[in-house]
Amino acid sequence: MTNQEELAKNLSSLQAFIDDLYSKYESLQDGVVANYIPELAKVDPELFAISIVNVNGEIYEVGDYQQLFTIQSISKVFVYGLALMDHGRDYILTRVGVEPTGDAFNAIVLDEQSKRPYNPMVNAGAIATTSLIKGSDATERLNRMLDMFQKYIGRDVFVDISVFTSERTTGHRNRAMAHLMLNFGMIDKPIDEALDLYFQQCAVMVNCHDLAVMAATLANKGVNPITNEQAIKSCYVKDILSVMYTCGMYNFAGEWAYKVGIPAKSGISGGIIAVVPDKMGIAVFSPRLDARGNSVRGVKVCEELSQRFGLHLFECSSFINSQ
């Protein structure tokens, strides 16, 4: 069999496999929808989608992949990239660490020695990261952030005002984190503007297809494989993927790295993105979450994809080598 024939066979089996995964897990009822942000509790728990985009721009998807939802914590990945481009990795490291933590994503805790948030994927680190986005005022910073998302996705995006307002009204733990970091000089005044921008970034509306394109952009060295637009300098992609790999799945990150073995990030609205460097981006959306805040169906889909196609970073596979 020629390389082209092998490639065609693998790509065909990929679509068939995600179709089978969708059918297998569509009836799974485990987990609960996030309810501590009132607007998120209103989502339909039956929604389910799987999307894959490879670095050649080829698309494989099934289910509710056009259904919009708020990006939530997955936004942390991309805002971290914007902060890196604004300030460089050395300065960012003075404000936000890169160490995994066994604490919950919303824990009000800083590193005891450095007083930094542990990493940019937990809420404290994400708030500190967001506070570093450049702009002359709040409007310019918001517009720069939305422009950044547009480059990754390939279309204009908007903030869901009802979710933003809901998060702003109920975000007392996040305010406590911000004040703690202000006390130790990890975040500057005015903290209300930083918090508003953080709540807005979490309320950006995306669908599962968008997330797969965003993940594929990271897989493609920062170039959107659909539009060919450079979303982030390639030199910073390794920083993003490194933190995703070690910290992206909350306090499930170690088991994820062991079982699935690719950089990933989840969000409490039910999204998961995963990046296979130089190959593809994977996205799953299903709102029911496990006790750690990760999509139940999403974790299972990614585990099976990794096992079936040998996607683990430390595993050799004919599928990977043929892409």
pLDDT tens column, 71-113: 999 999 999 999 999 999 999 999 999 988 867 676 767 777 8
Mean per-residue pLDDT for 195-204? 96
pLDDT for the residue 323: 47
Kindly tell me if the per-residue pLDDT of 257 is higher than 80.
Answer: yes
Torsion sign (Cα): 245, 130, 250, 293: negative
* Largest pairwise CA distance in the chain: 64
- And the tokens for 45? 């728990």
- And the tokens for 274? 């995963």
pLDDT for the residue 232: 98
pLDDT for the residue 322: 47
- And the tokens for 192? 């209300």
Could you report how far apart the first and last alpha carbons of the chain are, in Å?
A: 15
Residue 184 gets the label, from left (phi > 0), alpha (psi -120 to 50) or beta, of alpha
Question: For a pLDDT cut of 70, what percent of the chain falls above it?
Answer: 92
**Fold match, 3-71+207-322 / 73-202:** yes
Q: Summarize the annotated binding site as residue ranges.
A: 73, 123, 167, 174, 198, 250
Chain position carrying tokens 């984190």: 177
Q: Which amino acid is at 61?
A: E
CA dihedral 153, 157, 160, 163 (to 10 degrees): 30
The answer to whether residues 275 and 218 touch, using CB atoms and an 8 Å cutoff, is yes
Rounded distance, CA 305 to CA 300, Å? 9
C-alpha closest to that of 280 among 255, 257, 263? 263
**CATH domain 3-71+207-322 topology:** Beta-lactamase (3.40.710)
State pLDDT tens for residues 81-90.
999 999 999 9
Domain ranges of the chain: 3-71+207-322, 73-202
**CATH domain 73-202 topology:** Beta-lactamase (3.40.710)
Whole-structure pTM over 0.95, yes or no? no
pLDDT for the residue 71: 98
Q: Whats the size of the chain, residue-wise? A: 323
Q: Summarize the annotated binding site for substrate as residue ranges.
A: 73, 123, 167, 174, 198, 250
> Where does residue 76 rank: exposed (0-12), middle (13-18), buried (19+ CB within 10 A)?
buried
